[in-house]
Chains A and B, each alone.
Chain A
Amino acid sequence: MAEMKATRDAYGETLVELGRENPDIVVLDADLSSSTRTSLFAKEFPERFFNVGIAEANMMGIAAGLAHSGKIVFASTFAVFATGRAYDQIRQSIVYPGFNVKIAASHAGITVGEDGATHQALEDIALMRALPGMTVLVPCDARQTRLAVRAAAAYQGPVYIRLGRAKVPQVYPDDAGFEIGKGLVLWPEPEVPGGYKTVLAENRRFDVAFVGCGITVGLALEAARTLEQDGISCLVADMASVKPIDEELLAKIARSSGAIIACEEHSVIGGLGSAVCEVTARSHPVRVVRLGVNDQFGESGPAGALLEKYGFTSERYCQVARGLVGR
C-alpha cells in the first residue's frame, strides 16, 4: 500500500521550508489556515503571515500590493472561494499586471466530500487557465506538490496551484523531478520531466494514452497495469503543468496513440481535457475522451463514495479504454 498524504499537507510543510530559505516569502490566508495548512507557516513566521479574515477579494488585493513591493506572496483559501469569489481581483489586481502572487488553493474537486457542492470547486482550472499569463499547476501527490510549490516560488509571475483535502497515494518516487511546462510520462516506463523521448521515439504505438492531473494520475496508472495484462498497450502521462501545457509531449502522444483519455477531478468543460483537445486538434487530431464531472455540481458524501459515484475509479477508466479499443 502506497504512502498516503494530502497535497495540502505537503504544501504547508513546503511553505515552512521556503520561509526558512527566503525572508521575502509572505503568506496570506482567509480564515482557513488550519485547513489549507498555512497555519504551519504562521506558527514559525507570525510576522510574515497575515490572516485577512473571511475576505477573499481583499486578500487577493493585499497579495498584489505585497508582491508589488517585492514580496513572494502565497495566498491560500479553498479553491472555490479563491477562484470563484475573487476571480475579478485575481484577473485585475494580480494577473493583468503580472504580479508575483501564488494562489495555492486547497479543497479542490469532489474529494472535499461532506461539505458538498458549495465547497467543491469543479471549474477552477477552467477559470484560471483562461487568464492570459497565468500558470496552472495541479500536482498529484505530496512529493510532486513540494516540487511544484518550490517551482512556483522560483518562478516570477502569477501561479495557481490546485491542492486537495483528501489523503492521496504517493505516485512518484523520491527523486521525481518537476518542471513548469513539462509533462511527465509514467507508463510504460517512468521518465524524467521532458525526458519522454525514449518512450516516444521508437515509433511505438499505444492503444490508449491516459493524460491526467491530480488524483486521476494514480487511477490511470492502476488502469494501465490492468489493461496491459489484457494486452491493451497504454501510455500514462501526468500533465501537472496544465498551463503552460507540454504541447510537444501532447503532439507525440497524439501521433502514437489510438485514442487519448483525458482525466481530471474537474468539470469536463474548460479544464485539462479541453486543453488536450485544443492542442491535439491543431497538432494531430486524435479521438479524445474527457473524463471528469459532467457539467454538474457535486454533492455531499464521503470522498471515497463520491469518487465512485462520479466515475473516478480505475475500473471505470479500464471500461472506457476497452470501449475505445473495441475489446
Chain B
Amino acid sequence: MGVNRKTETIKNVVIVVLFLSAILLLYLLWQPRLSLKVSGLLELRPSQKEAPRAEELIKPLYAALSRGDGSFTIDTKDSAAMLALAEEEMRAYFEQGSPQLQEISAEQFAQAMGEWESVQLELSGGLPLSDFCLHFCGRSPGGDTEDIRLDILAFSSASSESFFVCDRSRGCFRVLFAEERESVASLSALAKEPDCSGYSASEILGGEGRALIFLGLASGLSEVPFDNEIEQKGAGVRDRMAETLFGSTFDFVRRITDSYGNVTYMYGYGQKTFYASVAGSYEYNTEAGEGAVTDLFTDLDSAVLFLADLGGLDNVSGSGLALSGYEESGSGRAKQRTFVFSQTLGGVRIEGESGPAASVTLTGGQVTAATRNMVYPARDPSGGRPVNTAEAANVVASNANHIYNILNNDTLTIASDEAFDGAVRAAVTLVPGYFASPKDSSLIPCWTLTTENGTRFFFDLYSALPLGFSRRED
C-alpha cells in the first residue's frame, strides 16, 4: 500500500503541475500585449531575422565641440559613442531629482555653445524629449515637455548643472538640476577622430544663418553602384513578403498586376493592401484594429521587427539603418506613431528623391502602414583616401539662387544677395551624405542641405553641382 501511496502522490503532483502550466500558457496566449518576443514565439512565425536594437538606430548626424572661442570641431565618427555617454550623463542628472525647465533664447543658446566649452549632438530625428528621457533616464522632465522635440542635445560649461535641448520649431530649453557635473569634459574626451572645423553660418557667411558650416572637410567617399531589392534578392522576394503579410495560403487575397509589372495584393475588400513595384519599392496598408496604449520605444521595437520580417535588415557592404524622422498624432489607444528610417553607408546617410529607405506607422501599437525602398550598395567605401571636398560655404553660395527658387516655388531670377540671404536663413544642417540616383543606379557622395521646412537639397560633394532635391511629404 505504501508504494501505491507514493505513486498516487506523484500522480497528484504531476496533475497539479500540468494544470498550473496549462493555465499559465493560456494566460500568456490571451494576454493582448505581454511582450512582442513571447507572442512572436506563440504565433509560430518563421525564425526572427537579425534586427538591430531600436536604441542603436538613434544616431547623431554629428557632434560639435567648442573650446569657447567661437570655432567648433566636428566629429562624426565618435558621435554615436558620445550619444551613449550623453544618455548616461542625463540618467545621472535625473538621479538628483526633478529638474526645472527654463526656456532660453536662441542667442543665449548660441552664446552657451560658442563662447564656452560645449558639446552639441545634432540629432534631427525629432523624438519627443519626454519619451526620450522616460526611456533612457527613467523619468520625464515634466508635463510641459510633451511638445518638445529633440533636434539638438547639448552640454555647456556655461551651466554645468543642466543640459540643453533645442527644438527648431519651438525654441531652446535648459533642463536644470541641483548639482553640477563634468559632462563637457567627459564627452570631449571621447572625440578622438575629429573630421574638420566648423563655424556658425552667421560667422562664415554673414547674415542670420544658424546652421553649422563645416570648413576644410576632406572625405574618402566615392561613387558606389547599388542594386534595388529585386536585383539583390531575386523576383521571389515579392511573394515572400506577401506571404509574411497575408499568410501562405492567400485566402481571400486578390492579386492585381498592371501593365508595367507592379503588383498589388488586396485582402478582402481592401482592409489590407500590399503594393510591390518593379523598381523594388513596397507599400503596405491595413486597417487599424483594437489598439492598446504603448510607449514610443516599444513601438520603435515593433517597427524594426516588422521591417526585419518584411524583407530583412541585412548589413550589406557595411550599410546600416538610422532613425531620420518621427511624427505622432492622436492619443491613448488611437495614438499614431510614424517612424522614418534612412540607410547609412560609410558613416553618412543615404537619401534620395524617391522617399525614405523605410517608414512604419503604428496605430495603438499595431503596424498599420509601412513603406520600404532599400538600396544594396555593391561595396563599402570606408577607408577611401581623403580628398578635399567642395567648401560647404561655397555649396550654399554658388547654389543660392537654385535653393531660393525651389523653396519659394519661384523660377524668376532675383537679386543674388536676396537669394543668398534667403538660402542662408533657411539652411538648418549641411552634412556629407550619399545621394541615391535611380537613373545611374549608384550612390553619389553629396552634401545634403536640409532646410527649415524639411526640403532637402543634394549637391555633389566634390564639385558642388546640384544633384536633386526632395520635399517633405505633408
Tell me if chain B binds chain A: no
